[in-house]
Amino acid sequence: MRLDGKVAAITGAAGGVGRATSLRFAAEGAHIVAADVDDDGNEETVDLVVAAGGKATAVHVDVTDSGEVAAMVDTAEEDFGKLDILFNNAGVMLPSDDDAVSTDESTIDATLAINVKGVLLGCKHGIPALRRAGGGSIINTASFVASVGAATPQIAYTASKGAVLSLTRELAVLHAREGIRVNAVSPGPLHTELLMKLLDTDEKRQRRLVHIPMGRFGKSAEIANAALFLASDEASFVTGTNLQVDGGLTAAYVTPE
């Protein structure tokens, strides 16, 4: 198994990519610390992991709260003895997020707090644990919009995901000699509850699909598979990269420099 004996903390584990990754990592032998503010959904993720024969524990974590993020790392070490993998996956895309003129400050603050500060706090508390484990892998969830922008205005979200990519690159350089790899995965539009609520008409969905060369939305399981590669020893010489899992969307719109 590709993650046999590894311990992974996954934020945003109550559903979507976080749940899919929890299940995928556990199927490959990892012990899971599932973290989310949605306690019911988080417990359901743990139940699914355990029912499939894996090991997991749930912890309530608001990723903007330093104490709660620290407690997540403590739980990993107390329950499973170490932390090998940190997946900073929790994020929001708020319906009130629009263009720079229209988006209110509370939306900007909330988006940046969760999507950027949450990643920073995960690394602040996770990196010392990875050092104690002798190294490990950090995976940060970015987005295709960090590379190409969004056809539908979502300025705070786009800015936050650009910041995630910058953080990923710097962290990768800073910690490479410590055996800590830091990479980002950039999903394209996914068929998740979050996005389908925003694209609540067929017209809105078709407007998004026309930009995707594969002509469909991605699946959470496909992002989980990408995260699995970055978490595993198969990616032992991969750090500071942005793995785009977007159905060809970025390739269709980005001109090589």
List, for residues 170-225, the tens digit of each pLDDT value.
Answer: 999 999 999 999 999 999 989 887 777 778 888 888 888 888 999 999 999 999 99
Q: How many residues does the chain have?
A: 257
Neighbouring-strand partners of residue 180: 136
SS (H, E, C) 142-190: CCCHHHHCCCCCCHHHHHHHHHHHHHHHHHHHHHHHHCEEEEEEEECCE
Domain 7-246 maps to which CATH number in 3.40.50.620, 3.40.50.2000, 3.40.50.720, 2.40.30.10? 3.40.50.720
- The residue type of 202 is D
pTM: 0.95
Determine the distance from the C-alpha atom of residue 16 to the mean position of all C-alpha atoms in its chain, rounded to a whole number: 10
Q: Residue 255 pLDDT more than 70? A: no
List, for residues 64-97, the tens digit of each pLDDT value.
Answer: 999 999 999 999 999 999 999 999 999 999 989 9
253 in active site:
no
List 25, 80, 87, 157, catalytic entry? 157
List, for residues 101-141, the tens digit of each pLDDT value.
Answer: 999 999 999 999 999 999 999 999 999 999 999 999 999 99
pLDDT value at residue 199:
80
Sign of the alpha-carbon torsion through 220, 252, 184, 193: negative
- Strand, helix or coil at 60? strand
- The residue type of 43 is E
pLDDT value at residue 226:
98
